[in-house]
Chains A and B, each alone.
Chain A
Amino acid sequence: MLTAEQNERLTRVGPGTPMGNLLRRYWMPVATVGEMRERWTKRVRLMGEDLVLFKDRSSNFGLIAEFCPHRRASLAYGIPETDGIRCPYHGWKFDGSGQCTDQPNEPAGSTFKDRVATPAYPVSEMGGMLWGYLGPLPAPLVPRLDGFVAAGAIRHVGEAIVPCNWLQIMENSLDPVHTEWLHGLLYEFIKERDGVKVAIARHHAKIAFDEFEYGIIKRRLLEGQSEDSDDWKVGHPVVFPNVLAVGSGGGLWQQYTFQIRVPIDDENTRHYWYHAYVPPKGSVVPRHLLDDVPLYEPPIVAEDGSYLLDYIHGQDIMAWTTQGKIADRSRENLGGSDRGVTLYRKMLEREIAVAEAGGDPKCVIRDPAQNEYIELPLERNKDMFLDGFESLFRRHMSIFSPIAEEIIAVFAQKPREPAGIA
């Protein structure tokens, strides 16, 4: 249980807040590259700041405050130029550094523009995503996690705006036993009439959490499993501070999944489900599946506003949002299975202190040699995946992807031999 003050401290992400300052030390995805092919600007609200991601006519990206410092019209409707963007209202031009470079109706020779600048942040491209960095400069590197950069993978990314605070979503990832209930027994209950049974409902005999270089490794031993199983020996990580890495590192198949929780503000989270599938050896993969990272929007509620309880992410979203806009941790009762949650909270507090003392907090990477390819621990044979690729895929939000059936078709060719492309 936390005090109300501790809860505020851990959840609030606006400018100047302790947690906001910590999270600003990390690159956050703000769009996909593909999404910006079709447009010049995208409104991005990030950690309580209203920003605009823009592309100029030289294809450079910029991330600047949404509201023009002149009279506060929105640069989301800006006019792109070769070297910046103009406000639609009076044509003031800003470059990617936020400097005002032209005020077309001020007198010739005026120095007013030199004294006007708007907040601006660095943008980077990695893994088909565009990332923004809102922290103190110099910016660190964008961590090249394995799934973002693995060669020959089919990728797609789902996006949803989840109307609750980011922390309760992250805590869900430090909570192994919820899968047994929320995705297992609840799912079987929802499907009771159909008599559906799923592997994920198996009972947890044991859980464990270990800090490692990039975050926390989560392990589980399900009833009937031996301690030699990957679920216990290898596990999978929460990458500090806001990414869950799941999937399967090869075995039944090879798949990377990152669930990235990007705080929009204190009460809304942009949730990305980033997937990279390495096709089985010998598979024939249509070229277009390798060229792009399509973006899709899985629904978070049904048309009538009710939760979508018949698939895994709909179940998660129900749990997250029913906890409240900001879960009231002063009224919780943590048990033995919640020690991953406690470990994570302590780590957040510890890293806030590191950042406040002037250090680089955990997982801030500045050495290019370290950043070539960050291989994360990941189970090969996951007990929960025993139902098979297609069965699991169809229970995931990935089923809403425009390339869903094509991915299933690729994996249906030779489902049990990972690696390699045609």
Chain B
Amino acid sequence: VVTPEENELLTRIGPGTRMGALMRRYWQPIGTAGEMQGKALKRVRLLGEDLVLRHGADGTFELFEATFPRGGAPATYPVAELGGLLWAYLGPLPAPLVPRLDGLVAEGTIRILGKAVIPCNWLQIMENSLDAVHTEWLHGHFFEFVKESEGLKVSFTQRHVKIGFDEFEYGIVKRRVLEGHSEDDDDWKIGHPIVFPNTLAIGNASPAWHEYRFQIRVPIDDTHTQHYWFGAFVLPEGATAPAHLLDRVHEYDTPICQPNGDFMLDSIHGQDIMAWVTQGAIADRSRESLGSTDRGITLYRRMLLRELKRMEAGEDPKNVIRDPAQNGTIVLPLEGTKAQRADGFETLFRRHQVRYSPIAEEILEVLRSGRAPELVSAS
């Protein structure tokens, strides 16, 4: 259990807060180059600060405070472009490098970016990613309950026999063994990571089905989070894609609720959003009762506090990268086969928020052309 004071410390990220200072040591995405085409200004609220992103006629970007004292000069912040995303750095200079995570820099991929503002604090969204068993319930049994009248059964309901969490260079690797599977499976041997401090990296890394997915949780302020779902699909051998699919990041807004205001409980992201948002604007961790399956969450909270202390002692916290040699391409661990994906690529694709992408059907078409049929549909 966390005291109310510890909960405040862990969640508040405005200017002058301790966790806010830690989050300011990392580059945060604030939009895309694509959305700024033909657009001179964009309002950005980041870590409780109101900022303006300016797109100069020469193609350069500037980020500065939206309001500043009369006669004074606004504070400006560095902006960088990577993987089609625009990144901002609000911490002390010199700024570190923008981490070149594999999915952001892989060549020849089809890239998509879903965006939504989630009306809750960033930490409960991150904690969901350190919580391996929630998939069995929220995306498994609960999904089947929502679809009860249709008799839907999903592979996510497979029982977790074992879960594991290991710190590694860039964050925490999360592992699971599902009933009927073994420790020799990729789910346990390889797992997939949380990239410290605010990115979940999932996907699939087999030659026939290779995709990168990053869920980046960018705090707007203490009670709102800009959520990015980044996807990069590697073309299967023999597949070709029209040029317009490859030449930019395809953006779209991911709906977080139905037109009537209800949550979208028949999709994986809608189920997650229901869980995150119902925990409250800032989840009250002084009233939780953690069990043994929550040790990934505990590990992550301890890591946040540890890195906070390191930073306050004058060091660079975890995953602040300054050496270009280290930053060629950061290859993250990623499963090649996942037991929870037994329902097949296309079925899963349609249950995910990626279905809202304007190029969703085109992606499916391209990937089908080079993929073994059993991966496309498990029927």
- Name the contact of B293 in the complex, choosing from A87, A88, A105 (C-beta under 8 A): A105
Query: Distance (Å) between the CB of B118 and the closest chain A CB?
Result: 14
- Name the contact of A105 in the complex, choosing from B283, B288, B290, B291 (C-beta under 8 A): B291
Question: A24-32, A71-79, A259-267, A360-368: which lies at the B interface?
Answer: A71-79
Question: B135-143, B180-188, B248-256, B358-366: which lies at the A interface?
Answer: B135-143
Assess whether B141 is in contact with A69, with CB atoms less than 8 Å apart. no
Assess whether B284 is in contact with A88, with CB atoms less than 8 Å apart. no
User: In whole angstroms, how far apart are the Cα atoms of A107 and B294 in the complex?
Assistant: 13
User: In whole angstroms, how far apart are the Cα atoms of A220 and B289 in the complex?
Assistant: 58
Interface string of B236-278 (1 = CB under 8 A from A): 0000000000000000000000000001010000010011001
User: In whole angstroms, how far apart are the Cα atoms of A103 and B160 in the complex?
Assistant: 13
Assess whether A69 is in contact with B274, with CB atoms less than 8 Å apart. no
Assess whether A90 is in contact with B289, with CB atoms less than 8 Å apart. no
- Name the contact of B274 in the complex, choosing from A74, A86, A91, A103 (C-beta under 8 A): A74
Assess whether B133 is in contact with A105, with CB atoms less than 8 Å apart. yes
Q: Nearest residue in B to A70 (C-beta to C-beta)?
A: B289
Residue B355, interface by CB 8 Å = no
User: In whole angstroms, how far apart are the Cα atoms of A107 and B292 in the complex?
Assistant: 8
Residue B349, interface by CB 8 Å = no
Decide yes or no: A79 and B279 within 8 Å by CB, A89-B134, A110-B292 being known contacts: no
Given the complex, which residues of B lie within 8 Å of A69, measured CB to CB?
287-289
User: In whole angstroms, how far apart are the Cα atoms of A72 and B294 in the complex?
Assistant: 13
Residue B280, interface by CB 8 Å = yes
Give the A interface residue count (CB, 8 A).
25
Assess whether B291 is in contact with A79, with CB atoms less than 8 Å apart. no
Residue A375, interface by CB 8 Å = no
Residue A112, interface by CB 8 Å = yes
Given the complex, which residues of A lie within 8 Å of B271, measured CB to CB?
88
User: In whole angstroms, how far apart are the Cα atoms of A414 and B280 in the complex?
Assistant: 56
Query: Which of A74, A90, A91, A107 has the most chain B CB atoms inside 10 A of its CB?
Result: A90
Interface string of A76-115 (1 = CB under 8 A from B): 1101100000111111000000000001111100101000
Query: Distance (Å) between the CB of B240 and the closest chain A CB?
Result: 42
Residue B145, interface by CB 8 Å = yes
Residue A141, interface by CB 8 Å = no
User: In whole angstroms, how far apart are the Cα atoms of A106 and B279 in the complex?
Assistant: 21
User: In whole angstroms, how far apart are the Cα atoms of A69 and B131 in the complex?
Assistant: 16
Assess whether A73 is in contact with B160, with CB atoms less than 8 Å apart. no
Given the complex, which residues of A lie within 8 Å of B275, measured CB to CB?
73, 88-89
Assess whether A77 is in contact with B142, with CB atoms less than 8 Å apart. yes
Assess whether B145 is in contact with A105, with CB atoms less than 8 Å apart. no
Assess whether B289 is in contact with A88, with CB atoms less than 8 Å apart. no
Query: Which of B134, B283, B290 has the most chain A CB atoms inside 10 A of its CB?
Result: B134
Assess whether B291 is in contact with A70, with CB atoms less than 8 Å apart. yes
Assess whether B288 is in contact with A90, with CB atoms less than 8 Å apart. no
- Name the contact of B138 in the complex, choosing from A76, A80, A89, A106 (C-beta under 8 A): A89
User: In whole angstroms, how far apart are the Cα atoms of A88 and B136 in the complex?
Assistant: 10
Assess whether B136 is in contact with A79, with CB atoms less than 8 Å apart. no
Given the complex, which residues of A lie within 8 Å of B145, measured CB to CB?
79-80, 88
Assess whether B284 is in contact with A89, with CB atoms less than 8 Å apart. no
Which 8 pairs show the lowest CB-CB distances between chains A and B?
A: A74-B278, A88-B142, A91-B137, A79-B145, A105-B133, A105-B293, A73-B275, A69-B289
Please name 5 pairs of A and B residues whose Cβ atoms are closer than 8 Å in the assembled complex, sorted by A.
Answer: A67-B278, A71-B283, A72-B279, A88-B145, A90-B293
B: residues with CB less than 8 A from A are 127, 131, 133-134, 136-138, 141-142, 145, 159-160, 263, 265, 271, 274-275, 278-280, 283-284, 287-294
